[in-house]
Chains A and B, each alone.
Chain A
Amino acid sequence: MSSLVFAWRKFLDRNSLLRHYLWKYRKFVVIGLGSLLMVDVLEVLPPFILKKSIDALTEGQPLRRLAQMAFAYFGVSLLQGVGRYGWRMYLIRASMFSGRDIRQRYTEHLFGLSASFFDRRRIGDLMSLATNDVEAVRMAMGAGLLTLADAFFYFLTVPIAMYLLSPKLTLLAFVPLPFIPWFVMRNQQAVHSRFEKVQNFFSKLAAMAQENLNGIRVIKAFAREDAQIRRFRAAGEEFVGLNMHLARVQTAFGPILDFTMSMGLVLLLFIGGRGVIDGAVTLGTFVAFQRYIQKMVWPMTALGMALAMHQRAIASSGRIKEIFSVQSDVPQPKIAQGEFTQTLGGARGKVEFRKLSFSFPGTQEIVLSDVDLTIEPGERVAFVGTIGAGKSALLSLLPRLYPAKRGMLWVDGIDVNDWPIEELRRQVGYVGQEVFLFSETVTENIAFGLHNWMAESGQLAPIEEATRLAAVHEDVLNLVEGYHTRLGERGVNLSGGQKQRVTIARALIKQPAILVLDDALSSVDVQTEEKILKSLRSRVGRNTEIIAAHRISTVRDADRIVVLQEGRVFESGVHAKLMRANGTYRKFYDEQRLKEDLDQFIQKYEEKKQSSGDFA
């Protein structure tokens, strides 16, 4: 019973999901429980009607009485049918609506969390919360509440009916019954712990299969398939063993419950039958009792089942609420949007880093320190540096993917922390290293930033303008369905360079004041890159451009080049100046030159081969 108390305490908890949604759908719940109550009260009648019919026969009452009883029986089941329809359509439906609502709240919350949260969590875990855990809570509200209420109503009605018929037989019938909840609880515990073992081993088996298939080339290369099969067989046998261990408690469950009921019947036969012989009990009462005893097994079972379901739901809602308690580390400032737009001056695109230092949220490692830099509107600034120098971190602070400390990063003279996030992100066109396209058409993917584009006519002109700037227009036309080609996981797979250019077009279409390209041209060939960089200079509403790159060709023509090393600004200036300084940039340049040299050699070499027909 302690588990019942625990479940009740959780239910009373201020944040109880269960209580919240029961209250929200109280109308449904009330109608559902009302229907259930009706079904359960009516459930008392059929045995009683049978008793009356038998009594009518044995006592020689008129035939009319029999007809009444036949009709009453049918009538009761008709009403019960209606009631059963009722609780399904209301109680279970309410649970499905609650499941929908919890999923909605969960997703809403996820959409409000920042990049650092998603860096830390595995997608599988987040998905499992949205499906398995929400389902567990939903089950507790639907089937869980139903079985609990059902058991409760049965206890209220059937024993009373039995007592009214014969107090002595009632006591008798209950002799084996109290054994049931004890048995069910014990059994459910055993089932649960053994089931858990089975589940865990199942994951192990799946992991083993996964590992085997991932490493199939190694296994085949060493011709060690036989050992793998031997291991997998052994694991499979162990799994069978665990399943049979579970089956031992699971298969006995139903039959043993049935047997308890049968023992009630045996007792009834001996003692009730004796009563009939002695004339103390009517035959009808005997028949009715037979039915009642059969009926009392269910509520006893239901009690155990409901408890198990609620325990699972408590664990799941705990996990869901843990996510709800996470707050975004890039919160919206308190200033109102309209108010803000008025305070904004004319000049757009000035970026100031003031002694900026940064560590990723929840980590100690200092990624950027003491970065002091002002970028004027209209300037093109390029960042170079080795992997891990802090370029990406620096650039990701601009659209507030990660939080910058107050006073360290200013855009147009306003601390980024004071910008309404939406407005800031409208001004900053950020293209990251990883290209991510959604399962939508090319057009939809590019118009991603134009919210009303679809609703307002959906013209192709701005899209094409953006794809031309990003030099991907021709590529798109060459796709099977052109601009209507579906991309993403299940769609057409573009090449790395094409994807990068589509993401650039996606950023360009919102005409941002500050364009940030974080190594966004790495898979694009040098000529196309040159074309893009050139056309960017002439784009409408062009303003500040901030570019991080590994290639000299990308950064050479920038108005200023900043060399980052270990999170600090090492050198900065125009190309010629840095070359003269003969420092890190110079080395970087030389290395790149050689590489380009080699590339050119190979290109020429290929052309030569091609013309001589060596390549088929």
Chain B
Amino acid sequence: MNRAEEPSGLEGYLDIEERDARPVHRRTLLYLFRYILRQRKFLFPGIFLILVSTSAVLLEPRLLGFAIDEGMIPKSWYHLKRIATLFFFVECVRVSASIGHAYLFEALGQRVMQDLRMALFTHLQEIPVSVYDRNPVGRLVTRVTNDVSALAEMFSAGFVTILGNLLTVLGILVWLLVLNVKLGLLAASVLPFLILASIYFSAKLRIAYRNARSKLSALNAFLAENILGMRVVHLFNRQGLHLRRFLRVNQWYADAQVSSIRVYAFFQPTITISAGMAVGLIIWFGGRMALSGEIKLGILVAYFSYALSLFQPMRELADKWNIFLSGMASAERVFSILDWKPEFRQGDSQRAAGPIKDLRGHIVFENVWFAYDQEHWILRDVSFEIQPGERVGVVGHTGAGKTTIISLLLRFYEPQKGKIILDGKDLREYDKRALRASLGIIQQDVFLFSGSTWDNVMLWRELSGAAHESIDSLLTSMGLTEQLRDRTRSLQERGSNLSMGERQILAFARASVANPAIWILDEATANVDSQSEVELESALRRISDGKTTILIAHRLATVRSANQILVFHKGALVESGRHVQLMKKGGLYSKLYRYQENLESHFSQTV
């Protein structure tokens, strides 16, 4: 405990939660079992083949014994030949069965893994957005990939080996006792001790591994932080000190590795020596029994082989048990995600969603209050009405709550108080996905997926040939070059080679493909040069003509011509009306407008 008293400067890196410490829950095992049982066509043949190969393993020394007793000692070439031939066939069966069950269990593992991955992925599509606010994407990705892989390793390495080894050990034990009870008991006499030793070492090993892992993650955390903050380290001449700290955590890690090696270094010789003792006992007692004619010589020779095969699996068991446990820890994490509540009926995400029929686009906010964390109100008592077909501008400073209005319309979140009414019906009465499919959203930062422009526009929608044509002409009319319309060409690194204007065109196209009843533009033309802006404006006008359109803008000039402008400040709707009315009023809107006007005139002077 000396370490705790003397500050090492590394305390901040060590407080990593140790997830593997949790015990294996029965529920997790049951869940897993359900997934395994779905793969019966691999599971049962696999188990059958394991039984076959284990039987062959058991038969092999016995056959050698027969060869000695029936062939060599009576000098019968005939018998020897037949036994040797039989041996050959047994070996053929064994090798085929071994390959077969290894392959089948690999297939089983892969299938279970794919099922789990899909269950997890599908579930992640169904949980509400608010969950993503709380969980870093990196961690979720780790669940879908690494944890599922750890599970697969548990199947292909841990599970099969444990099962195979256990069967072998049990088989040999039974077989030894059947052949000769006395000698069998003798050979097995060291086994209880060895089993106890295995349990002991396996526990030790787990602690050592866990320790090494936590030291490694402290080392990684420290190094990563220092690489990120290298400038600061340099500016304050801390290289020497931080290097010394690194040496300390590096040493901790090396020590932890060594202590895991030490466990092995004791464990493996324990098995060697136990096996030696068992064979020594067999030589002495078995030899005397053979002399007295109590057993045949061939059986004695077979016993030598059996004794050694008895100890071989023990070497692996302790290790594989740990793989099994860490696989279970992964399973636990995977299933804990599956427990999160989805935002709509489970499995709904696998169907294609269609828009709400005959939506007019009449939107009413009635005393809506909203906070992400139940404490800081983002929207305070917001009420407004948007008539069907109206163009409405929403303006205000950053943090005024403009974007939150969209999130509520999309039902990414639900308001705490008040309600939102769409076409006379509470928003909550609509199917979430149908509702979302009815809204066309264009945002400032266009999220592009890797894939072609076509994929990004269609979002992997499957359409008829005629629909293809019409979308192609739409893209052309928006000014997308032929090169970018190429369906087979993938975007470079998520469209890093596209200009802002081109990205916006893709976003417009993406939204218009769904033919939405309501358009929402969130700062959609903020980063676009004026030429593209004009083109986009006119394209949008054409498409959204007569449909309800909500324009969220930082630049007020964008919303000047709107039917209605809603001015937000710190979550409250402070002014509303047409541009002329608001300017006349001389409130927040007019101040903002004048400021921006001035800024832009200055900007155009310097550029």
Report A's interface with B, CB cutoff 8 A.
46, 49-50, 53-54, 56-58, 63, 66-67, 69-71, 73-74, 76-78, 80-82, 84-85, 88-89, 92-93, 96-97, 99-100, 103-104, 107-108, 110-115, 118, 123, 126-127, 130-131, 202, 205-207, 209-233, 236-237, 239-240, 243-244, 247-248, 250-252, 254-256, 258-259, 262-263, 265-266, 269-270, 273-274, 276-277, 283, 286-287, 290, 399, 401, 422, 425-426, 428, 430, 432, 436, 438-440, 444, 448-449, 451, 454, 486, 488-491, 506, 510, 584, 587, 590-591, 594-595, 597-598, 601-602, 605-606, 609, 614-616
Contact = CB atoms under 8 A, between A and B. Distances in A.
Contacts of A451: 237-238, 241
B72 A213 contact: no
Chain A, interface SS category: helix
A320 to B, nearest CB: 14
Closest 7 CB pairs of A and B: A77-B276, A439-B12, A81-B269, A251-B102, A227-B460, A74-B280, A225-B349
A176 to B, nearest CB: 12
B122 interface: yes
Contacts of A63: 288, 291
Interface stretch (B430-438, B533-541, B576-584): B430-438
A205 to B, nearest CB: 6
Contact of A488 (B225, B253, B276): B225
Contact of A597 (B91, B235, B300, B595): B595
A232 B436 contact: no
B290 interface: yes
B250 A100 contact: yes
Given A230-B460, A273-B67, A444-B9, 11 more contacts: A70-B280, A99-B257, A107-B243, A220-B410, A229-B349, A244-B107, A262-B95, A266-B87, A269-B67, A287-B304, A449-B237
Contacts of B594: 594
Contacts of B397: 602
Contact of A206 (B141, B152, B300): B141
Contact of B250 (A103, A486, A605): A103
B224 A123 contact: yes
B350 interface: yes
Interface string B388-407: 00000000010000000000
Contacts of B237: 422, 425-426, 449, 451
B588 interface: yes
Contacts of B200: none
A148 B125 CA distance: 50
Contact of B301 (A202, A224, A258, A287): A287
Nearest to A273: B80
Q: Which of A53, A71, A76 has the most CB of B within 10 A?
A: A53
Contact of A104 (B236, B250, B592): B250
Nearest to B237: A422
Interface stretch (B169-177, B260-268, B325-333, B470-478): B260-268
Interface residues of B, number: 151
Contact of A591 (B72, B129, B412, B599): B599
17 contacts: A50-B283, A70-B284, A76-B276, A88-B265, A93-B261, A100-B253, A110-B226, A115-B230, A213-B124, A222-B510, A226-B352, A227-B352, A231-B460, A262-B87, A273-B80, A286-B72, A598-B592
Contacts of A220: 125, 129, 410, 412, 436
B288 A66 contact: yes
B360 interface: no
A112 B238 CA distance: 11
A56 B594 CA distance: 112
B12 A82 contact: no
Given A439-B13, A444-B9, A229 B350 contact: yes
A244 B106 contact: yes
Given A66-B288, A115-B231, A226-B349, A277 B95 contact: no
Interface stretch (B26-34, B109-117, B546-554): B109-117
B586 to A, nearest CB: 11
Contacts of B81: 270
Which of B76, B234, B272 has its CB near the most chain A CB atoms (within 10 A)?
Answer: B234
A220 B13 CA distance: 37
A591 B83 contact: no
A31 to B, nearest CB: 13
Nearest to B12: A439
Contacts of A225: 125-126, 349-350, 353, 433
